[in-house]
Structure 1
Amino acid sequence: MPAFSMDGEFIIGGVFAIHYKELTKIHSYTTVPEPPTCTGSVNSRELRLGRAMIFAIEEINNSTELLPGIKLGYKIYDTCASVSVATHVAFQLSNGEDPVIQTGHNCSNLGVVMGVIGASSSTPSIGISRIFGPFNIPLVSHFATCACLSDKQQFPTFFRTIPSDHYQADALAKLVKHFGWTWIGAIYSNTDYGRNGMASFLEAAHKEGICVEYTESFYRTDPKSKIQTVADVIRRSTAIAIVAFIADGDIKLLFEELNQQPSPPRQWIGSEGWITDLQFKLDHFL
């Protein structure tokens, strides 16, 4: 079910990772599987984005000039930062939730989802876009930056209000060169966002004459031993600057692991995926 919803003549969908992860369940296949649920702490940035969407729709409905005589509604879902949940949500938004099949000649298109805002990361947006494409449902993302999503043959109904990582990777390489960090480490999320973004950065860094001591990747659902391994690489390395093309939920786990046994001082250069998260205060930086 939606985290927030309101009826209207036309529905705007919302897809936000309000929680950091999905609750892992083991199905016995002897009963009907339970629907996916979220666990972990609340992502306050995503919650604010969802509330901002609600505020915008209410302002439109209260205006006598923007859409007079039309009431917009919304259905905002929590994806738990999970691709499988995001895909489940995409089908919900495409098909609706009413199990009753309408009959007769009075069927109406009112209340259908006209478009969707989200998601806040690239991999869920890829999954959702592949489902929405054949139905011509637009997905407008404010934060999915993977350059792969610019391919209109694969994602004809995907749009965004933020530049792709092609430009960010180039800017990060120029920033690193500007400050004279020619020997760096590289950390990235093991997702479409992290892999594509880091590949673009490494190509740009090579052109700028920047040497990379190591590249390490992980994802928030990896075993703790994997995150410990990445932290150990950082502790043993000689590079004092680290470029992190990584999501906020992933860097949060890495910082927690590094805080257990702090490494020598490091300069972090972050991508937009986590550097804009207000939850990361100065005491998180090493």
Structure 2
Amino acid sequence: MIREQYGIQRVEAAFMAVDEINRNPDLLPNITLGIEIRDSCWYSSIALEQSLEFIRDALSDSDSCGGSGGHDDSRGFIRPNRTKNIVGVVGPGSSAVTIQVQNLLQLFNIPQVGYSATSLDLSDKSRFSDFLRVVPSDYYQAQVMVDIVHYYNWTYVSTVYTDGNYGQSGMTAFKELAEESNICIAEEEEVLSNAEDHAFDDVIKNLMEAEQANVVICFCEGMTVRNLYRAAQRNNVTSRFLFIGSDGWADRTDVVDGLEEIFIGGISVKIKSPYVKDFDKYYFALRPMQNLRNPWFEEFWQHKFNCSLPVKETLAGLPPCTGDESLSERYYQDTKMSFVMKAVYTMAHGLHNLQRAVCGPVKGICPGMLPINGSQFRF
């Protein structure tokens, strides 16, 4: 399934940002910025495979095949047909996957800008020297959660976190700050986001053992929160706990889908992200026959509107698309849209400043810029 939020919209936001940059005569003059997008599927192993693929392509001395471009549908990404100068990498979305990718990229001094990875570990410049992000670290989320607990004079809480870098580093920050505020922790639970139902049932039962701790701090990925609420529902204790969640839950509609009533009363922290008005006009004008640079768009279109495109094999039982479909239907803008665009712009400004520092008055790419070295970037 190709998701609209957390997927297609972020791809199109990156395309839109690159288009704007290339139209701006004052940003990277005489340099055309390109973009190659890979699907990590939110898995570290796939993200590393994709990263190795484009690094290999960048280091290749000869054209891999003729033509100006193409993509390999079986692997789900746009495949370059000629050697390109890699400026840097934007993303991926999650902290755990970002850390794995950064460990690889820094071997080649390839700069990386994160648009969503908030792990406190990524602030360690001794480990991640070529990493920059446009969102604050989890330390600040943890501080907000402690402030909420302190404001309501709750001094005895339980905690749950997703097993992985995001949950572990966030909860470590929360516990340190909670201790400074004299907040005691009754139960501490760790669970995999994709664990079986019985594992989440065990978490709920363990939380219930702390009879005086009704507030649960959850530094969790979205599906962890959803599975916790489902476990509370199975055990008939939906009114027993007040969950305070991090941005892994926040305003994700897929987390609460079908469980809206039992989520009432919960609190989640969200990083402020302004609405990108210009994106709506751009996005609503997209059509599958014209939007050929996005290899996932046709499949997404068919699933969103439950129809078959004429140039594709007719999907079983689905009527043909009429051409009257509109992306404005059931539209909800991805809340990290502005971060994606800001990350692309950050990379462009870093390259712009590098070009000015190395090339002086010469416009365009000069020999001193190549190969691109992340340590020379001027963000």
Q: TM-score range by the shorter chain?
A: 0.7 to 0.9
SS of residue matched to 1:217 = strand
Aligned mates of 2:224, 2:44 — CA distance in 1? 15
Query: Which residue type is aligned with residue 147 of structure 2?
Result: K
Match of 2:366 in 1: none
Match of 2:51 in 1: 90
Given candidates 263, 268, 276, the residue that maps to 2:243 is: 268
Q: What is the identity percentage for the equivalent residue pairs of Structure 1 and Structure 2?
A: 27
- How far residue 259 of structure 1 moved from its aligned partner, in angstroms, is 3.4
SS of residue matched to 1:177 = helix
Structure 2 unaligned residues grouped into runs of 5+: 65-81, 265-379
Query: Which residue type is aligned with residue 200 of structure 1?
Result: A
- How far residue 63 of structure 1 moved from its aligned partner, in angstroms, is 3.6
Deviations 1:188-216 (A, max 9, x none): 01011111111111121122111212111
Q: Report the CA distance shift for 1:262/1:68 in structure 2 as closer, same or farther (over 3 A).
A: farther
Query: Which residue type is aligned with residue 188 of structure 1?
Result: Y
SS of residue matched to 2:135 = coil
Query: Which residue type is aligned with residue 220 of structure 1?
Result: S
Match of 2:191 in 1: 218
Match of 2:232 in 1: 258
Q: Report the CA distance shift for 1:92/1:253 in structure 2 as closer, same or farther (over 3 A).
A: farther
Higher relative contact order (CA 8 A, sep 6+): 2
Task: Confirm or deny: 8 A CA contact 1:241 1:268 kept in the other structure.
Answer: yes
Task: Confirm or deny: 8 A CA contact 1:146 1:192 kept in the other structure.
Answer: yes
Aligned mates of 1:219, 1:232 — CA distance in 2? 16
Aligned mates of 2:185, 2:196 — CA distance in 1? 26
Structure 1 unaligned residues grouped into runs of 5+: 1-39, 104-108
Question: Alignment RMSD, CA only?
Answer: 2.7
SS of residue matched to 2:160 = strand
Task: Confirm or deny: 8 A CA contact 2:155 2:183 kept in the other structure.
Answer: yes
Query: Which residue type is aligned with residue 187 of structure 1?
Result: V
Higher share of residues assigned strand = 1
Given candidates 139, 142, 159, the residue that maps to 2:132 is: 159
Aligned mates of 1:78, 1:50 — CA distance in 2? 10
- How far residue 264 of structure 1 moved from its aligned partner, in angstroms, is 4.0
Aligned mates of 1:77, 1:277 — CA distance in 2? 23
Query: Which residue type is aligned with residue 174 of structure 1?
Result: D
Greater alpha carbon shift after TM alignment, 63-72 vs 120-129: 63-72
Q: Report the CA distance shift for 1:65/1:110 in structure 2 as closer, same or farther (over 3 A).
A: farther
Aligned mates of 1:275, 1:92 — CA distance in 2? 34
Match of 1:106 in 2: none
Matched, 1:173 2:151: no
Alignment of 1:114-193 (within 5 A): 114-193=87-166
SS of residue matched to 1:77 = coil
Q: TM-score, normalised by structure 2?
A: 0.57
Deviations 1:100-159 (A, max 9, x none): 9459xxxxx962321111122211111101100021111111221111111222111111
Query: Which residue type is aligned with residue 277 of structure 1?
Result: R
Aligned mates of 1:223, 1:191 — CA distance in 2? 16
Given candidates 36, 42, 53, the residue that maps to 1:75 is: 36
Deviations 1:52-111 (A, max 9, x none): 1121112223344434443322222222221211221221232228989459xxxxx962
Matched, 1:277 2:255: no
Instruction: Give the total of aligned pairs.
Output: 242
